[in-house]
Amino acid sequence: MIAGAFFWAAVATLVWTLLVFPSILVIRARVRPRPFATGDVTPGLSIIIAAHNEDASLPAKLQNLAAVDYPVGLVEIIVASDGSTDATVDSARRLARDGRPAIEVLDLPRVGKARALEEAVQRSSAEILVFTDANSILRPDALRHLVSPFADPAVGGVAGNQVYFEGDPGTEGEQVFWNLERRLKQAESDAGHTISATGALYAVRRSLFRGVPEGVTDDFAVSTGVIEQGRRLVFAPDAVAFEQPANETAAEFGRKRRVMTRGLRGVLLRRRLLNPAVHGFYSLQLWTHKVLRRLMVIPALVVMITAPLVWRGTWLFIPVLLAETGFVLAALLGHLVSGRRLGRFGPVAACSYLAMVNTAALLALWDVVTGRRITTWTPHRSPGLP
């Protein structure tokens, strides 16, 4: 009886999180859309880049920004080096002397990403703050598409579209899930607010910037602060920023753990957004997307543990057991042959990626419960890539 109750509660949670709620989002976007105005506007931009030991990526990034399609006189770039020990500062200053757009380089001690971003914002002056990662390469028209929704005064922030470079080995699992994420972001935006932005590329009005709290995901905190202040956060699918995820499983696992730890802390920081009386449907989006989805490993484990107890003695026991065993074996196989042809096979890559993410989620939950804070970061870049 008790095992059955836990089993069905866990199944219901998974079905809601993975199937029912995404379907509701898509239907709601079509039935009750909330369009926003766009226009060919060109506000002044302060492009903020926090960098720690990014000498391998930053020169290409700054050259990329110099080549984008946007009036050069309306752009300032501020690079905040967070205690870099490589040639990050020297490389950035050398490029800053080459001409426009204007580039200012802050050589900071190791203060953490939050403080580095705040220092950069304090030195900036433009109407729109644009945040982007040092390894994100923007499509030439990305900035124009990013600022277009600011033609609507109700829009306070715009999330860009993070896209992975095509053909990168070892990223097939993440590609599958990120493609789904992109569709959900579009549906969320069409119906009201997209959940949050990603650090690859996003922008907010300067008047709505309220700092970056320590120990949380900075892109989540800054972008959701817009919603907390009563403005819309929308998605710009044509504001494309290309990135490559870490190919090494250990590096990617560490990144996922860090992101989810800081992300869960971010939800605690923005817990007022979970009040449906104030924020309506967005509260349900936030709860489902940022809490249930990140912690779906818990109901998944409950299902795996209780399913044999519930179905033992019936013919259903066999397919349940086979499904569980198949998932575990596929995940292990994907981990062992990561980067090889078999490891890139869709179902194997998806199972391996899902197992990795859920393990990282368990450790992230442990970090939050035990009070572990992550205030600094060390990027992992693949050699030879921007």
- As given in the structure block, the two tokens for residue 195 are 């959940």
Q: Give the integer Cα–Cα distance in Å for 243 and 256.
A: 15
Residues 110-121 have a mean pLDDT of 93
- Model confidence at 258, pLDDT cuts 50, 70, 90, reads confident
> Closest Cα to residue 176, out of 4, 7, 347, 1?
347
Q: Give the integer Cα–Cα distance in Å for 380 and 247.
A: 9
178: helix, strand or coil: helix
Q: Is 5 exposed, middle or buried (0-12, 13-18, 19+ CB in 10 A)?
A: exposed
CA 187, chain centre distance (Å): 16
For residues 101 and 66, the answer to whether their CB atoms sit within 8 Å is yes
What are the backbone dihedrals phi and psi of residue 380, each rounded to the nearest 5 degrees, phi first?
A: -115, 115
- As given in the structure block, the two tokens for residue 156 are 């306070």
Write down the mean pLDDT value for the chain: 86
Q: Where are the domains of the chain?
A: 1-386
- 131 has which bridge partners? 48, 202
- As given in the structure block, the two tokens for residue 191 are 């119906």
CA 256, chain centre distance (Å): 10
Residues 67-89 have a mean pLDDT of 94
Residue 54: the pLDDT is 93
SS3 letters across 320-371: HHHHHHHHHHHHHHHHHCCCCCHHHCHHHHHHHHHHHHHHHHHHHHHHHHHC
CA 180, chain centre distance (Å): 13
Residue 181: the pLDDT is 82
| Whether CATH 3.90.550.10 fits 1-386 | yes
Residues 286-296 have a mean pLDDT of 91
What are the backbone dihedrals phi and psi of residue 18, each rounded to the nearest 5 degrees, phi first?
A: -95, -25
Q: Give the integer Cα–Cα distance in Å for 6 and 19.
A: 19
- Model confidence at 74, pLDDT cuts 50, 70, 90, reads very high
Residue 137: the pLDDT is 95
Rounded to 10°, the helix 218-228/113-123 angle is 60
Residue 168: the pLDDT is 53
pTM of the shown model: 0.86
Residues 264-290 have a mean pLDDT of 92
For residues 135 and 61, the answer to whether their CB atoms sit within 8 Å is yes
Residues 158-165 have a mean pLDDT of 90
